[in-house]
Chain A
Amino acid sequence: MTAPRYPGFDTLALHAGQRPDPVTGARAVPIYASASFCFDDSDHAAALFNMERAGHVYSRISNPTVAVLEERVAALEQGVGAIATASGQAALHLALVTLMGAGAHVVASRALYGGSHNLLAYTLRRFGIETTFVNPRALDEWRAAIRPNTRLLFGETLGNPGLDVLDIPRVAALAHEHLLPLLVDATFTTPYLVQPFAHGADLIFHSATKFLGGHGVAIGGVLVDGGTFDWVGSDKFATLSAPYEGFHGMNFSEESTVAPFLLRARREGLRDFGACMSAHTAFLILQGLETLPLRMARHVENTRKVVAYLAAHAQVASIQYPELPDHPDHALAAALLPRGCGAVFSFNLKGARAAGRKFVESLQVFSHLANVGDAKSLVIHPASTTHFRVPDHELAAAGITQGMIRLSIGLEDVDDLIDDLARALKAAQKTS
């Protein structure tokens, strides 16, 4: 008899959250394209509405296909549960508004995806939520930025686009020292490369549009609760530990010791803000998730070869990938990301801005577009696209130069990727 053990990661990626359909025998996850679900009788209806029984009522709140995705990602992250959302941005928004309201404060890494930066720096400020941005590598900055009204620390496992590696154990310890949770955007790493809960993070979100789906055909997000944070003990989160008038006086912390955050996020956040994921989208993302382990391994393998090629190329001024010895987070990456540092990285071309433009326009296999984490290789110029609203001084502070090129390495034959880059580098060289 073998020793008892949990199913492995690859098995969970294929099976968690689903068993063959009991009615039809369907092995694949069916798309339950139904806005609502029939009640057995009036008592069943009332019990579902009142959280006395588990089940589906209306697809804005939950849906059988979407639940498979939620439970699969939760299984892979070792979280107590998850909520799938209309986008990664919606997942971040759902986390924030579940935890805080006007008058609250967030401490966030400065090396954020531009969309996250916009939400925190501009939009939420209009609603009374302020954010202080800090150098993710400077623990003293994190510490100094915490105020009495701070409710969250937030960073990315790999900062976008500079690939700053978030020191999750140390930032989480600092957060917990102040009775605050740490939220991590793990889009670039996926649970295959790092499981942030194991290092101290309390909440995780993904843009599922990227590596989780892997095919670039659907927009979605997933918010995962580690079940590790003591919301009652913190005494800073009345939304989770006091009766909620909006749900018959429910005290979410009495209903669930480990998952009051998810209960409130679903019963208030999805109910009222409504940024739910559709069943079709969940199905599409599930198709990708099934092969996540295989894809991530190949993404990393290809990336290492491309990085090695570029690092040795005369036209490349610098390259930022944490596995390179000169990256400031090299040692930290080795500790937190032993399977690899993902497939998105940036480098600086020698020459003027025109060289960068020529390089991007000369690529044939790489697609010039605003996305990452696709099975196909992608390229973009952050300063003129994802971060175009960010002032120059903030760009510089985030380590983004005007000539920076961001690549997302796909699953093609790596020799074809290197040939494509070689042609484009040669074309760019002619402009200088």
Chain B
Amino acid sequence: MKLGTQPALFAYTGGKPFDPAKPCFVFLHGAQHDHSVWILQSRYLAHHGYSVLTFDLPGHGASDGPALTSVEEIAAGVAAALAPLALDAVLLVGHSMGSLIALELARGIDAGVAGVALLATAAPMRVADALLDATRAAPDAAMQMINLWSHRAGIAPFAARPGNPGPGFNIVWSNLRLMQRIAQRNGAHVLANDFAACNNYRAGLEAAHALRAPALLVLGSADQMTPPRAAADLIAAIAQPKTVVTLAGTGHALMAENPDGVRAALLQFAQRVFASKPAVAMA
């Protein structure tokens, strides 16, 4: 479905019509990605009593508009798309760049925030100058580097289990093709925009401290982009109840490398934070 007008954003609803009466997940992808990185988690939750809005961020995938250049602008775009729905409470879930957007969104939307789940995260999320330069000057090579660092090192990601989105798929080349597709469809500048937005966002710790809802942090023990130690300051800044789940042997691409681990962590968190508005029993 498309939400909002300036820009209109595409949101995957999990293979079911969106129902605003159900407790709602809002999924926010990372740099040079789109909604499809969340497919197993969002489809499962949509069929287990929740509503899901799995966004393509502005200028990504099927969403309109240019790719925005700051986390604040992206969060404002998502907030504008959500506003007409007048949701009671949402659970914001963000991966990597999306986790920064979730932090910023948590203090910028009218809807109540039941919880915030931050996956593969760090604040600040500094990007090496060499990589930032590469995203501008040599985006194809930069995507190859990013793809390598997005997965656990070595051969393991070439035998990911249980597979994503199912058996027979290769998560490493799928991630590369997705980044290439975003570049092809939305423009070569998106990569540089996204990584600069991550690098330039300075309000992460402040936003984390300002959270008014419980937080879940899902980290990958083998994450080469945002290793668990990089989340330490962020975890410390969160004053609300917080849960840290570290998935063993999992790299930055948590949802693809360990779809069941991510799903289980999100489901458990949702059951807790939506306790006053439980999931609707499956029809």
Contacts and interface: CB of A to CB of B under 8 A. Distances in A.
Interface of A: 4-7, 11-12, 15-19, 43, 46-47, 50-56, 62-64, 66-68, 70-71, 74-75, 78-84, 226-228, 230, 232-233, 248-250, 254-259, 262-263, 266
8 contacts: A16-B159, A19-B161, A54-B162, A54-B163, A55-B162, A230-B184, A254-B15, A254-B35
Contacts of A7: 154-155, 158
A382 B134 CA distance: 53
Contact of A18 (B12, B159, B170, B177): B159
Interface residues of B, number: 45
Contacts of B35: 254, 257
Interface stretch (B36-44, B72-80, B229-237): B36-44
B165 interface: yes
B15 A56 contact: no
Contacts of B155: 7, 11-12, 15-16
B172 A6 contact: yes
Contact of A80 (B44, B158, B170, B260): B170
Contact of A67 (B158, B163, B263): B163
Interface in B130-182: 145, 148-149, 153-156, 158-159, 161-170, 172-174, 177-178, 180-181
B39 A255 contact: yes
A228 B177 contact: yes
B47 A50 contact: yes
B173 A74 contact: yes
Given A53-B260, A71-B169, 16 more contacts: A6-B148, A7-B154, A12-B158, A47-B44, A52-B40, A52-B48, A54-B163, A54-B167, A55-B167, A68-B159, A71-B167, A71-B170, A249-B15, A256-B36, A258-B36, A258-B178
Given A4-B153, A80-B170, A17 B158 contact: yes
Interface in B17-66: 34-36, 39-40, 43-44, 47-48, 61-62
Contacts of A228: 177, 180
Nearest to A260: B36
A80 B167 contact: no
Contacts of B174: 80-81, 227, 258-259
B158 A51 contact: no
B185 interface: yes
B166 A266 contact: yes
A72 to B, nearest CB: 8
A54 B170 contact: no
A256 B185 CA distance: 15
Given A53-B44, A227-B177, A230-B185, A64 B39 contact: no
Interface of B: 12, 15, 34-36, 39-40, 43-44, 47-48, 61-62, 145, 148-149, 153-156, 158-159, 161-170, 172-174, 177-178, 180-181, 184-185, 224, 259-260, 263
Contact of B12 (A47, A78, A83, A254): A254
A18 B163 CA distance: 11
A81 B149 CA distance: 20
A255 B166 contact: no
A52 B164 CA distance: 10
A350 to B, nearest CB: 49
B185 A62 contact: no
B182 to A, nearest CB: 8
Most chain A C-beta atoms within 10 Å of own C-beta, residue among B36, B159, B259: B159
B168 A81 contact: yes
B167 A64 contact: yes
Most chain A C-beta atoms within 10 Å of own C-beta, residue among B34, B155, B164: B155
A396 B15 CA distance: 53
A290 to B, nearest CB: 14
B158 A248 contact: no
Contacts of A6: 148, 172
Contact of A257 (B34, B43, B260): B34
B145 A226 contact: no
| Top 10 closest pairs, chain A to chain B, by CB | A227-B177, A81-B169, A67-B167, A52-B44, A70-B168, A54-B162, A16-B158, A74-B170, A62-B167, A80-B174
